[in-house]
Amino acid sequence: KSTKPKFEIESGDMAIDRAGLVDALVDMGATGAADEVIKLPASGYKLLVLTGLGDKSSSGIYSHESLRRASGAAARSLHGQVNATFSLPYDSLEGIAAIAEGALLGAYTFDEFRGSSKAERKPALKSIEIFTVKAKNKEVAALLRRAEIIAEQTHLTRDLVNTPPSHLTPDSFAQRLKKIALASGLKVEILNQTQLKAKGYGGIIGVGQGSANPPRLLHISYSPKGRTNKKTKRYAFVGKGITFDTGGLALKPAQGMEAMKSDMSGAAAVTAAVIAIAKLKLNVAIDAWAPLAENMVSDKATRPSDIITIYGGKTVEVLNPDAEGRLILADALVRAAEVGKKFGGLDGIVDVATLTGAQVVALGTRTSAVMTNNEKFREVFLDATKRSGEQFWPMPLPEELRPSLDSPVADLANIGDRMGGMLVAGIFLKEFVSPELPW
């Protein structure tokens, strides 16, 4: 027996023939699955776009991530159009914000380096309107502004990740973010190669010394104006900033190496995040740290068996120069905690990194791993990821893997057991965070 699919057409007071639409969708074999997009002509409109929302949540509503994903799919399908009005079924004011955020994130293109082919590319939407009876609600206006800021800084992160290493070196990254951060009223400090050597940042220097583009350490700090007191939460964000990773003397295979321009995405994420936090004027103090280096092949590059001294004094035997991200992160983690102590200590420290390919083997390309020394802090973080629509999964840090990082000549080695490589990388970083500091 054939049954007619049930479709929910959200149009508010927009003049749309719902019954006719349902009949058309049935004839076209539409399912309403997530990411499904169907374009139809409609009387009074240039184009009508229907976007699938997938299944409702267990509570009988569409999750904010479903709304975000659906509006994003619709926006991507509208490249080449100038403006569009979005109307999706929301259950709360936050749902309106999710629709706006998805639409804005979907309206993204990167064509900075296109020449003659640029004119052939379809540009993203220039104007996005959210259709809602709550339009005059002041809280909605604030939520839409938040969505704009989040999307703006996500676009910045994407731009940085997409920029080729010919145009994004440690210094150009630092200078670009400095300009944006200063314009947002933030404090900025950049340490150059000479300063890094003098102050003992052995991880950053060791990784970057093989490149003609010298390393940098970028520090961007935000404190809420006039509201900072002993009760103000203070966190440090640390992001891996390898602007290109050849693997060093442990040279990577040629196939796929072009993707290593994205090895600085952690640094892009944390610096864009602190700028967003400043624009949102959140009542929290944030220090964002971006250790920046190129991991290149040369006669000056770090060799397997070389020993480096991380900021703070711990020594590391570099058995694999391609396990470099953890070395620059170690420097920054120690320094971030040190600076935090000047303000009475940190409430937590979060590092973000394309840490190791072993993570992708374990969890795939859409789910990130969470490793921590504090279960309560992990739950707070995971709750935030669920509310923001990010996919994260908690992973353990087994004590029995720690001995594999022992070195006969240094405090520890930069690699250990190959099996469980992601966990070993996390255990390595844990060595540079005091147990009482939530990480």
Contact 305, 318 (CB under 8 A): yes
The two tokens of residue 423 are: 């966990």
- Please spell the DSSP secondary structure of 123-173, one letter per residue: PPPSEEEE--TTTT-HHHHHHHHHHHHHHHHHHHHHHHHHS-TTT--HHHH
Contact 96, 143 (CB under 8 A): yes
Catalytic residue among 145, 146, 199, 252: 252
Catalytic, 252? Answer yes
- Based on the number of CB atoms within 10 Å of its own CB, is 55 exposed (0-12), middle (13-18) or buried (19 or more)? exposed
Half-sphere exposure of 408 (CA within 13 A, CB side): 1
**Phi, psi torsion values for 150, nearest 5 degrees:** -60, -45
For 58, the enclosing helix (H) or strand (E) is none
- Give the span between the Cα atoms of 153 and 282, in whole angstroms: 15
Catalytic residue among 216, 279, 326, 335: 326
Contact 16, 85 (CB under 8 A): no
Enumerate the active-site residues: 252, 326
